[in-house]
Amino acid sequence: MTYVKALRCRECGREYPQGPTHVCEFCFGPLEVAYDYQAIQRDISREAIAAGPGSIWRYQALLPVQRASQADLGAGWTPLIKANNLARALGLRELYLKNDCVNPTYSFKDRVVAVATAKALEFGFDTLACASTGNLAAAVSAQAAKAGLRAYVFIPADLEQGKIVGAAVYGATLVSVQGNYDQANRLASEVADRYGWAFVNINLRPYYAEGSKTLAFEVAEQLGWRVPDHVVVPIASGSLFTKIWKGWNELAEVGLLDGQRPRMTGAQAAGCSPVAAAFATGSWDIRPVKPWSIAKSLAIGNPADGHYALKVARESGGYIEMVQEQEIAQGVALLARTEGLFAETAAGVTVAALQQLATRGKIGCDEVTVAYITGNGLKTQEAIAEALAPALVVSPTLTSFEQALARQIPPSDRSREAGAKTHTRRESFQK
């Protein structure tokens, strides 16, 4: 059984029966899944969750589908890493990373697509589709393959090679749109209107978005049913950010937590920062932009949930940070070189934002902080490859190696370097 009561309009509160629909017919506001929290509270417990599967489906009671589909890929229940080295580098006491790079298609999008696919099968669709900045395309394509559905994914033509290959390999039809994500998404919405396909981010959006709540549920459970003081989340459309917030609230609503909620801080890059810009000026209006950021997975110039993201940041006492484009690759490198975690450019934005928050005193050094690392670095190698040319180029002789080593490290430092960790490349990167 599910505990879903209805789809409810976020703007006017009108309710609709469950179906493949995402917009209030009266006010055009977005629809959201509404649950019977009293019934959930009666049936849910920390013990029952702990006995559940090692995937997002351990929180089935708080998701809008009865069970994982037969074709489920097993998204979720990813590691929460205590990041002592990065914490030290940033001057923070207790920092954790939620590592969603290890999902089936290497990003958090597997969570949302798992829910959307189960719902698509329930509604009887034969085609799964989406508009995507890359990660969603891979998740939809892989899930469709496993579920035996046809798939069409609409992507901007200039995506990273890793994202294109990572979506195409599963057999979806890639529709490469000569334009940016917002244009691909507009085209997708026209297509959605004409073809009877399950567009996970359009007509299945209310269900799809619910999958992101599991990123709050898992962190709370992994911290021993505790809420962190501060979380940092990258922002593209703002959907992930607002659903993580919904997650904390629901845990309190059903009695699994005592009602504490973290400060919620969002991260955007200078090349696409409409939400951060509105936050900085105290405005509630998001002015759309034409993105030019290298963090392409965050390059949504017209963020559908931007307004709600502003509300969450302000209500929770958090911020929406904007970081410079050149800080993105540095953030990727800092994460890799402190924690051994190679994440994509969105994580570079998140880590750069963490650094900025710490430097400016916006994160208290005693705050328990969680940063969400949402996608794998192998997807966006172009963004960082240039800065990573081999340090030593040698012929295959020991002499050549030692000559090269001598050029790299002054003799006085060599014995120390031989015994200690090599920080040379990290330092050179940060210059």
Partner 1 sequence: MSSIVRIPTPLRKLTSGAREISVNSETVGACIAQLEARFPGLGERLCDERGELRRFINVYVNGEDVRFLAGLATPLCPGDEVYIVPAMAGG
Q: How far is the CB of 297 from partner 1 (least distance, A)?
A: 7
Binding-site member from 55, 103, 132, 380 for partner 1 (CB under 8 A): 132
Sheet containing 4-9: which strands, arranged edge to edge?
15-16, 4-9, 31-35
Residue among 215, 155, 210 nearest 35 (CA)? 210
C-beta separation of 298 from 235 below 8 A: yes
Element (H, E) at 140: helix 135-147
Backbone angles phi, psi at 283, to 5 degrees: -85, 160
DSSP state of 212: G
Answer yes or no whether residue 239 interacts with partner 1 by CB under 8 A: yes
Residues 6+ apart with CB under 8 A from 263: 229, 230, 231, 316, 317, 318, 367
The H-or-E segment that residue 136 falls in is helix 135-147
Q: Is the CB of 305 or the CB of 325 nearer to partner 1?
A: 305
Distance of closest approach, residue 366 Cβ to partner 1, in angstroms = 34
236 binds partner 1 (CB under 8 A): yes
- At its nearest, how many Å lie between partner 1 and the CB of residue 336? 25
Site stretch for partner 1 (CB under 8 A), options 38-46, 91-99, 157-165, 199-207: 199-207
CB of 276 closer than 8 Å to CB of 303: no
182 binds partner 1 (CB under 8 A): yes
Smaller CB separation from partner 1, 26 or 401: 26
**Is 347 one of the binding residues for partner 1 (CB under 8 A)?**
no
Spatial CB neighbours of 251, under 8 Å, sequence gap ≥ 6: 216, 217, 220, 227, 257
Q: Which residue, 135 or 338, is less far from partner 1 as judged by CB?
A: 135
**C-alpha span between 246 and 238 (Å, rounded):** 12
Beta strands in 68-112 (DSSP E): 80-82, 94-99
Q: By rule CB under 8 A, what string of x and - marks binding of each residue 250-289 to partner 1?
A: -----------------------------------xxxx-
Q: How far is the CB of 80 from partner 1 (least distance, A)?
A: 25
Q: Applying CB under 8 A, which part among 246-254, 258-266, 301-309, 394-402 lies near partner 1?
A: 301-309
- Residue numbers of the site for partner 1 (CB under 8 A)? 11, 21-30, 131-133, 135-136, 181-183, 185-186, 188-190, 193, 201-202, 205, 208-209, 236-239, 285-288, 290, 297, 300, 302-305, 307
